[in-house]
Amino acid sequence: MKRLSRNIATVSVIMAVTLLFAFTGCRTGKNSAASGDYPGTAAMSLTQRARYVADGYLPWTQLNLPVKVAVKSPQKLSVSGRIYMRRDHDIYITLRVLGMEVANMYVNSDSVFAADKLHKCYIAEPIKDIFAGASLSIGDIQDALLGRAFVNSRGTLTPQMLGKVILTDSPDNQWSVTPRTKINGNIEYQFKFSKESNTLMSLIFKSGTKLYGCTYSDPAEIDGSHFMERIAIATKVGKTAIDAAITFDFNKVKWEVPSSARWRTPSGYRRISPSTLAKALGEK
């Protein structure tokens, strides 16, 4: 088969976003405009701002909500589906066209799986290989997807964890949270917030001289807990540019995950390698 379908490309984009750009040469984009405004933010100190943000990260155990993936590059398309998450356990995404499932993806603490059901292909890779050795927990990935600051492998930011981060004011109407401990001892990461609204604007990784990042917009408050509804990414797989965004519909969130939201290796499917996947992404 010379060409894989656009569905496997879509799954790959989702994988790139879900896996925090896979450290394959991603670049930061422009900051999204912050949405919403909170009374009194102008008078807050940095510590008050960080405590306010952390207080809004209420715990959750399961999430189940609609998701839309919009891709600009390498192929323009838009597809909808559903995402299921069990906190600190797994992530399952299913994509449908006219009610028929065309692709799915599953991530747990050990591996990443994705399947193109139309062309009977699938991916199965150890998560450590996808991250090029970087130690990111499944909880870190979930926080990054949902737009919540976290401390690597220690969980979502809480008021009790403020001693583990550095708070910085900046002249561009932003302030930032930088965990004191780097990922694997050499990868720095930073969360940037709007001064006007205290909403998350971007997450940036720095490895050596390279920057990796994504941007956020459209904050949502569900039962007093804060999430971001949209995450956008610009990255490259090899020489192929990827420009995509994931939007969650928190208006239709459910707080339970069905037992069927699990990965099952499809019978009769052909397993493809990351190099084959990268080539497929470049096809027009």
Residue 1 forms part of a structural domain: no
CATH code, 173:
2.50.20
pLDDT the model gives residue 118: 81
Mean pLDDT of 64-91: 90
Chain mean pLDDT for the chain = 83
Residue 258 forms part of a structural domain: yes
pLDDT the model gives residue 7: 54
Residue type, 20: L
pLDDT the model gives residue 11: 54
Any residues with CB less than 8 A from the CB of 248 and at least 6 apart, and which?
A: 65, 66, 67, 83, 146, 220, 227, 229, 230
Residue 194 forms part of a structural domain: yes
Report helix angle 138-146 to 6-18, nearest 10.
Answer: 100
- pTM score, two decimals? 0.86
Residue 284 forms part of a structural domain: no
Domain count, the chain: 1
pLDDT(101) > 70: yes
pLDDT the model gives residue 127: 77
Residue 214 forms part of a structural domain: yes
Residue 283 forms part of a structural domain: no
Task: Write the pLDDT tens digit of every residue in 52-68.
Answer: 999 999 999 999 999 99
Task: Write the pLDDT tens digit of every residue in 31-41.
Answer: 433 334 444 78
pLDDT the model gives residue 281: 58
Task: Write the pLDDT tens digit of every residue in 174-199.
Answer: 999 999 999 989 889 999 999 999 99
pLDDT the model gives residue 119: 82
Residue 17 forms part of a structural domain: yes
Residue span of the structural domain in which 111 resides: 6-275
pLDDT the model gives residue 96: 86
Residue 142 forms part of a structural domain: yes
Please identify which residue in the block is written with the tokens 């102008």. Answer: 42
